[in-house]
Amino acid sequence: MSYPGRREDSRVPVLHSELREPLRAQRDPLAGDAGRPRSNREDRPQFRKQSWLSRFARTYGWRAYALPILIVVTVVVVYQSVTAPTPAPVADEQPAGDVDINAHATTILGAPPKGLSEFDANLPAGKLPDCCGNYTQAGARTWHVVPGVEEQVGKGTTRVFTYTVEIEDGLDPVDIGGDDAFARMVSQTLANPKSWIYDERIGFRRVDASFEGVPDFRVSLTSPMTIREGCGYEIALEASCFNPAFQPDPAAEPEARVFLNEARWVRGAMPFQGDIGSYRQYLVNHEVGHAIGYQQHEACATEGALAPVMMQQTFSTSNDDAAKFDPGQIPADGKTCRFNPWPHPIA
């Protein structure tokens, strides 16, 4: 008896022993014909099981090849940075020489020595640049203190130097941008960590006319003609200096005065290649260096390095030229340095 929608089951069931393939569910369990044999998916080449490396490469593409290289490079760099020896300090890292900050100068420091006759005053590096602004040739030979008191800068474990900022009467303030601009340049230079306060023994404190007492030194912007009186004029070059006992009036008490030549302040110096700002910082640091105890000039130690701040960079950064200003002290060995305004340029 048959029923609609139902196949006649007239076929003989297939035995397990007669199957060549493992037992799998057929599309029609009641069909006697096993139909087309199903191939094992694992036997197909396109469906072979991939290794983790192949799957990684297929997932990340070109990055899968770049990443191992990057890892190797990183490991090499880290290893080299850890195992590399610490380099010795280079010439640019040499600070200013030692100083006796309790020493008191008894002679003018900074100007060419008196009696120096064998010198060519036409030294190109020492000439005053003929650009950059005007200056007053001769002032009144008196100074006024720029008002302003500032807190101590530097630790000053051994000594804190007090100083005033002063400008010679008769100078045109337009030439220097005003009294306050000059005073600010001086105080900011001395407060810079690359200046003398890098040495923890040294500190500075700016005072003004209200100060009860005598400041340790007076930083004074001064005309060239008055400079010649305060520093000497043995060589016809515009110079600056530190005079520990300047006495413009015989009736007045001697005073320690740092003379900064206005002609240099306005026009700079040839070795500084037109960098007026750096030259002004150098001028302050160099002459104040004399005021706090650096009595000797220094030579260029290494060819091409930064010049020591106590080298006479106003005139030249070459030892051959400097030896003419300091014969017997600076060797004429052919070394030339680069200009540098700071006692401690790497601070």
Per-residue model confidence as pLDDT tens digits over 315-336: 999 999 988 877 778 999 999 9
pLDDT category of residue 172 using cuts at 50, 70 and 90? very high
Neighbour tally for 181: CB within 10 Å: 11
pLDDT category of residue 126 using cuts at 50, 70 and 90? confident
Show which of 253, 282, 297 is a domain's final residue: 297
Read off the pLDDT of each residue in 54-68 and give the average, rounded to a whole number: 63
For residue range 218-249, what is the model confidence (pLDDT) as tens digits? Answer: 999 999 999 999 998 877 889 999 999 998 88
Q: Pick the more confident residue, 106 or 155.
A: 155
pLDDT category of residue 251 using cuts at 50, 70 and 90? confident
> Is 332 within a domain?
no
> Is 31 within a domain?
no
Helix 52-60 and helix 63-83, axial crossing angle in degrees, nearest 10: 100
Q: Are residues 59 and 126 in the same domain?
A: no
Give me the number of domains the chain comprises.
2
Q: Pick the more confident residue, 182 or 81.
A: 182
CA distance 299 to 326: 10
CA distance 285 to 306: 15
For residue range 86-103, what is the model confidence (pLDDT) as tens digits? Answer: 433 434 444 455 667 766
> Is 37 within a domain?
no
CA distance 200 to 218: 22
Q: Are residues 62 and 199 in the same domain?
A: no
Three-state secondary-structure class, residue 257: strand
| Predicted pLDDT of residue 340 | 98
Most confident of 42-56, 71-85, 86-100, 293-307: 293-307
Q: Are residues 65 and 170 in the same domain?
A: no
Query: In the chain, pLDDT over 70 holds for what percent of residues?
Result: 66
Q: Are residues 139 and 209 in the same domain?
A: yes
pLDDT category of residue 77 using cuts at 50, 70 and 90? very low
Query: In the chain, pLDDT over 90 holds for what percent of residues?
Result: 55
| Predicted pLDDT of residue 306 | 97
Which helix (H) or strand (E) segment holds residue 57: the answer is helix 52-60
Predicted structure pTM score: 0.72
Block residue for tokens 């002679």: 107
Q: Are residues 62 and 118 in the same domain?
A: no
Q: Are residues 129 and 171 in the same domain?
A: yes
Q: Which of 98, 123, 83, 106 is nearest to 271 (CA)?
A: 123
| Predicted pLDDT of residue 19 | 46
| Predicted pLDDT of residue 196 | 97
Q: Are residues 72 and 154 in the same domain?
A: no
> Is 199 within a domain?
yes
CA distance 345 to 46: 69
Q: Are residues 259 and 122 in the same domain?
A: yes
pLDDT category of residue 50 using cuts at 50, 70 and 90? low
| Predicted pLDDT of residue 278 | 98
Q: What secondary structure letter does DSSP report for 127?
A: S
Q: Are residues 132 and 178 in the same domain?
A: yes
Q: Which of 18-27, 120-129, 299-308 has the lowest mean pLDDT?
A: 18-27
> Is 225 within a domain?
yes
> Is 21 within a domain?
no
Question: For 204, phi and psi rounded to 5 degrees?
Answer: -130, 150
Q: Are residues 240 and 273 in the same domain?
A: yes
Q: Are residues 156 and 210 in the same domain?
A: yes
> Is 337 within a domain?
no
Show which of 297, 321, 339 is a domain's final residue: 297
Show which of 281, 297, 313 is a domain's final residue: 297
Q: Are residues 113 and 237 in the same domain?
A: yes
CA distance 5 to 1: 13
> Is 183 within a domain?
yes
pLDDT category of residue 68 using cuts at 50, 70 and 90? low
Range of the domain at 186: 102-297
Question: Mean pLDDT across the chain, nearest whole number?
Answer: 80
Three-state secondary-structure class, residue 243: strand
- Assess whether pLDDT exceeds 90 at residue 202: yes
